[in-house]
């Protein structure tokens, strides 16, 4: 790849450490292709590489022919249609159907005899011009002309041909004769006749499709603020463009400059209408989808009909024209390679290796992205730092596109502006957009919350883990990270172990390190032993992140404050499902480009989805992946993506209602049970109905719920935690046990037997820091549902209205169903489980109940009385009582009001009065589980005071 052409508006930063740069460094895109790449295109081949779509101006500048050199073009005139006038039924000519083949691409065009005449005339004019205008820029064409016979093939054929053949035959011979010569076949008029363009022969875009010259009308966007105020025809502007129709999208482009001007994706609202009634113009065609009514104008009634029929024929094969299961945009994809991850260590490592494999495109969207986060640890150089990886790939010619949530800065400190500047100042191949503009879009409360990465539209990573500080963790959930002075093993922490179960699922892959070493940062990491550097060491309830433009300065004193461990899940998927993930990103990217004026320049390109017809070709795969049925789900709305969908909510409710034995929920939030006023999602209602059904049928059924013990807001819980923490606690308790709509209140029918059906837990850990015992909750950030050891959902969607309704935050998830079966146990009987789901459930349970340290703990049967009561619930109860005794932990069940909270915090705990006895007590701790304290502050109204800023916010902000 040639070195990029850069126009700098400020000097290059001396250090790769993030700089506080106020302006964009690169004004121009890197559009130059390398000499080797251009030579390769000149030599020909059976197809064009996909990366060509990002270098269309280069193709034009370098004179790369649209038809592939060395690959013959053959044509066959195999049908005719009689053309009549519309009213008088008078025959006025014949329409010829021409079938064309170029390599493995086939397509059809329809032409009148006059089009053959016009082609012949234009070729003859071009030939004469080369003879009489011996300019240097025509040298290539003259060379091609010399290879041609003295005379061009006659349009009327030879006398022998006319005697022995039909008109169809000699027109066919005429075309084939022209196409044997490079001068004729690469002429502009011939390419127009054949309907061939720069995007015709890119295999990853699918079949050749339909192409041609059209006039398109401005406007038609279904996005507020993008159309002319008036609707009269004088407000419209007509532009000449080249239309390209593929199997899942269409676009129009400026052919003179090789610039894509607009992309329209097929969706369930896709329609094609013909006639003045729909277009207000003669020979018009109206093409609709969720975001636009595109009007094009054809040269005749017959051409308009032809275009409409062919567009519908191509679109008819698309999966995206209809609504699928759960009202989703994508269907379930069978035989999809997939892999789950518990915690960020294995996820980040596999993601780093996958990014290294990128050859064409990298798509990233996150709620928060920290460019300086390390993907492999401990870091001894900057090679595996995210910004360095992306810079390295950009320098290799990979196009890196990043979509970030643009936060309300007064409310959140994630500093997406810093992330954008840092990445975009590294290389012009790195493009970063932020959305929404809160004022223009009138969106203040909702966020883009997806966490996904797609690589070459072939492999994708989806889940709850942002590429950000604080997210990396493993099954040890360390509370401290002091570096070399720290003892190798801490009180209450197990030795690390490489977890691989019988199904081949590894918690963390350990791929070989590259031989190449990256340039050292100003901070020497050669002898580094720390896992969390700078801001990455965090406890955001003690202190939220600040000064993110200084990423390697500590945010808290790690010698005094334990970090808050981070528990999360994600998944990797391949093939068609990965294409679905990439399509969602492309839809959001193109939507943002249209919506925000600052992104309408050429620096931010339109993105094109690859065809699913080539999705099964996998250049690389994530290690230890297994096949399953995978469906990509999302929450999306017109403000976020331009369409409406809440398939994640539908999948959750369907899975709960149809579960036979158990569900396991691990989620950052648990806000549900619809009342039609403050809460609207019905996940809690589905749980209640399923438990009542099991009770009426006298069948064993279990519900496991694991959530964080406190919401993730900065606040001093010894003083009540603050308004934000209390607001979330209010709606969490409203879901679990308080008020008429809560789950436990609605289980009156089972009375005290509710404990046989549902268990509500959090996670906690302890260790020793600076000679003192410390404890901290483990922050559960997961968004996971597992059912019956056969299916699971992993994604970014919390159990609350913000994530689930679709009209609020944008989200993404995958629904994975095992297609294979392995022998297992359920309810004391033999059971056929899915290998992926079984392994995931066991990995979760193994760590939570401490089965590693006690081989007698059997986690094979999740619903047996022995496991549910004597392992899961007994462990949670014992652990909670020990933590209360040793640390006086908060939240806890015996603090019912603010007075008792104050008294509780004034009491000395065993840790302070008798440290040695405290250590002895803590030896009985098993795993991480503690029961969620259902009685904490039960006598207080936890809603924010009306006069506070939290109290003045809409209720939907918290739900």
| CA angle, residues 905, 906, 909, in degrees to nearest 5 | 75
The partner residues of 340 in beta bridges, in order of sequence, read: 571
pLDDT of residue 41: 77
Q: pLDDT category, 180, cuts 50, 70, 90? A: confident
- Least confident stretch, 1-15, 264-278, 406-420, 625-639: 1-15
711 contacts: CB under 8 Å, gap ≥ 6: 669, 724, 725, 728, 729, 732
Range 342-369 average pLDDT: 97
Summarize the confidence of residues 639-658 as an average pLDDT.
95
Whether the pLDDT of residue 785 is over 90: the answer is yes
Percent of the chain with pLDDT over 70: 86
Residue 510 has pLDDT above 60, yes or no: no
Q: If you average pLDDT over residues 196-201, what whole number do you get? A: 93
pLDDT surpassing 50 at residue 507: no
pLDDT of residue 519: 37
Mean pLDDT estimate for the chain: 87
Residue range 595-625, pLDDT digits in tens: 888 888 889 999 999 999 999 999 999 999 9
Between 169-173, 192-196, 704-708, the lowest mean confidence (pLDDT) is in: 169-173
The size of the chain, in residues, is: 959
Q: How much is the pLDDT for 17? A: 42
pLDDT recorded at residue 256: 82
Q: Which residue, chain included where needed, has tokens 């007064």? A: 410
What string of DSSP letters covers 498-535?
Answer: --B-TT--BSS--PPPPSS-PPPPSS--TT---SS-GG
pLDDT band for position 264 (50/70/90)?
very high
The predicted pLDDT at position 642 comes to 87
Band of pLDDT at residue 445, cut at 50, 70 and 90: confident
Residue 518 has pLDDT above 70, yes or no: no
pLDDT digits (tens, 9 = 90+) for 576-602: 999 999 999 999 999 999 888 888 888
* pLDDT score of 499 more than 70: no
Which of the two residues, 820 and 30, has the higher pLDDT score? 820
The CB-side HSE value for 407 (13 A sphere, CA atoms) comes to: 17
pLDDT at 684 over 80: yes
Q: Give CA–CA dist 533/482, Å, rounded.
A: 10
Average pLDDT over residues 572-576: 98
Rounded CA gap, 559 and 772, in Å? 11
Entry pTM = 0.91
Q: Tens of pLDDT along 119-158?
A: 888 888 877 776 665 555 455 554 555 555 546 666 765 5
pLDDT greater than 60 at residue 230: no
The residues that are catalytic are 449, 451, 456, 781, 783, 788
Count of C-beta atoms within a 10 Å radius of residue 515:
5
The per-residue pLDDT for 311 is 93
Q: Report the Cα 945 to chain-centroid distance in Å.
A: 38
pLDDT at position 783, please?
Answer: 98
What was the pLDDT predicted at 576?
98
Backbone angles phi, psi at 356, to 5 degrees: -65, -25
The average pLDDT across 734-749 equals 95
């Amino acid at each position: 790849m040639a070195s990029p052409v850069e126009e700098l508006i400020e000097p290059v930063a001396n250090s790769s450490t993030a700089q506080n740069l106020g302006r964009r460094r690169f004004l121009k895109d890197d559009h130059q292709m390398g000499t080797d790449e251009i030579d390769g295109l000149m030599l020909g081949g059976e197809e064009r590489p996909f990366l060509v779509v990002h270098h269309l101006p280069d193709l034009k500048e370098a004179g790369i022919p649209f038809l592939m050199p060395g690959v013959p073009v053959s044509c066959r005139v195999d049908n005719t249609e009689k053309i009549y006038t519309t009213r008088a039924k008078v025959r006025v000519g014949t329409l010829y159907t021409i079938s064309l083949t170029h390599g493995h691409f086939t397509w059809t065009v329809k032409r009148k005899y006059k089009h053959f005449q016009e082609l012949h005339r234009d070729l003859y004019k071009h030939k004469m011009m080369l003879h009489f205008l011996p300019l240097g820029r025509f040298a290539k064409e003259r060379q091609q002309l010399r290879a041609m016979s003295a005379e061009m093939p006659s349009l009327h054929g030879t006398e022998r041909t006319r005697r022995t053949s039909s008109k169809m035959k000699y027109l066919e011979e005429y075309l084939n004769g022209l196409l044997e010569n490079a001068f004729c076949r690469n002429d502009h008029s011939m390419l127009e006749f054949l309907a061939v363009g720069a995007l015709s022969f890119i295999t990853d875009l699918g079949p050749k499709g339909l192409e041609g010259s059209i006039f398109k009308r401005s406007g038609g966007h279904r996005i507020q603020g993008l159309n002319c105020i008036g609707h009269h025809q004088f407000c419209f502007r007509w532009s000449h463009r080249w239309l390209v129709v593929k199997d899942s999208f269409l676009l129009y482009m400026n052919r003179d400059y090789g610039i894509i001007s607009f992309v329209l994706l097929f969706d369930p609202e896709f329609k094609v209408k013909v006639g003045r009634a729909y277009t207000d113009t003669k020979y018009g065609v109206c093409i609709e989808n969720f975001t636009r009514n595109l009007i094009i104008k054809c040269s005749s009634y017959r051409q308009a009909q032809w275009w409409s029929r062919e567009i519908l024929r191509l679109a008819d094969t698309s999966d995206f024209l209809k609504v699928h299961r759960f009202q989703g945009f994508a269907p379930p994809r069978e035989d999809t390679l997939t892999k789950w991850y518990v915690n960020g260590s294995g996820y980040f490592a596999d993601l780093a290796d996958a990014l290294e494999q990128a050859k064409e495109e990298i798509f990233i969207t996150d709620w928060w992205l920290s460019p300086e986060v390390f993907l492999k640890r401990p870091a001894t150089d900057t090679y595996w730092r995210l910004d360095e990886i992306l810079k390295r790939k950009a320098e290799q010619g990979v196009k890196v596109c990043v979509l970030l949530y643009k936060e309300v800065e007064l409310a959140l400190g994630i500093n997406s502006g810093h992330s954008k500047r840092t990445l975009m100042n590294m290389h012009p191949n790195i493009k970063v957009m932020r959305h929404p503009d809160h004022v223009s879009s009138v969106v203040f409360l909702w966020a883009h919350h997806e966490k996904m990465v797609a690589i070459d539209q072939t492999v994708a990573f989806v889940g709850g883990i942002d590429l950000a500080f604080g997210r990396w963790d493993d099954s040890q959930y360390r509370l401290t990270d002091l570096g070399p002075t720290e003892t190798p093993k801490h009180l209450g922490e197990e030795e690390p172990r490489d977890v691989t179960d019988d199904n081949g699922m590894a918690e963390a892959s350990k791929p070989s390190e590259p031989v190449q070493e990256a340039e050292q940062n100003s901070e020497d990491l050669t002898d580094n032993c720390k896992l969390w550097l700078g801001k990455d060491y965090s406890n955001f309830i003690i202190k939220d992140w600040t000064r993110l433009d200084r990423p390697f300065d500590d945010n808290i004193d790690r010698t005094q404050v334990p970090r808050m461990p981070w528990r999360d899940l994600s998944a990797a998927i391949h093939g068609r499902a990965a294409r679905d993930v990439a399509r969602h990103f492309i839809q959001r990217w193109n939507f943002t480009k249209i919506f925000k004026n600052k992104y309408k320049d050429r620096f931010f390109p339109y993105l094109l989805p690859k065809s699913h017809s080539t999705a099964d070709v996998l250049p690389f795969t994530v290690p230890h992946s297994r096949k399953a049925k995978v469906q990509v789900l999302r929450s999306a709305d017109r403000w976020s993506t331009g369409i409406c969908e809440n398939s994640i909510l539908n999948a959750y409710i369907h899975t709960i209602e149809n579960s036979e034995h158990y569900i396991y929920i691990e989620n950052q939030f648990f806000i549900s049970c619809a009342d039609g006023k403050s809460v609207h999602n019905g996940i809690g209602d589905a749980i209640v109905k399923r438990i009542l059904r099991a009770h009426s049928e006298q069948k064993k059924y279990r519900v496991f719920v694991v959530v964080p013990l406190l919401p993730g807001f900065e606040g001093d819980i010894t003083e009540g935690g603050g308004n934000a923490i209390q607001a979330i606690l209010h709606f969490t308790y409203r879901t679990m046990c308080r008020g008429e709509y809560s789950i436990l209140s609605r289980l009156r029918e089972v009375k005290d037997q509710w404990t046989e059906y549902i268990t509500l837990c959090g996670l906690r850990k302890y260790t020793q820091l600076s000679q003192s015992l410390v404890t901290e909750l483990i922050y559960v950030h997961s968004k996971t549902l597992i059912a019956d050891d056969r299916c699971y959902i992993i994604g970014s969607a919390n159990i609350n209205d913000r994530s689930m309704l679709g009209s609020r935050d944008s989200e993404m998830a995958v629904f994975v169903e095992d297609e294979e079966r392995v022998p297992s146990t359920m309810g004391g009987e033999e059971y056929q489980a899915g290998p992926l789901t079984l392994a995931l459930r066991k990995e979760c349970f193994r760590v939570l109940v401490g089965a590693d340290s006690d081989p007698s703990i059997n986690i094979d049967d999740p619903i047996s009385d022995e496991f549910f009561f004597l392992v899961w619930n007994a462990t949670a109860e014992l652990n909670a009582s020990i933590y209360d005794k040793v640390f006086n932990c908060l939240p806890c069940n015996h603090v019912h009001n603010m007075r008792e909270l104050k008294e509780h915090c004034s009491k000395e705990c065993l840790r302070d009065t008798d440290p040695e006895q405290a250590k002895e007590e803590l030896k009985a701790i098993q795993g991480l589980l503690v029961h969620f304290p259902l009685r904490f502050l039960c006598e207080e109204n936890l809603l924010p005071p009306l006069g506070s800023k939290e109290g003045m916010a809409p209720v939907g902000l918290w739900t």
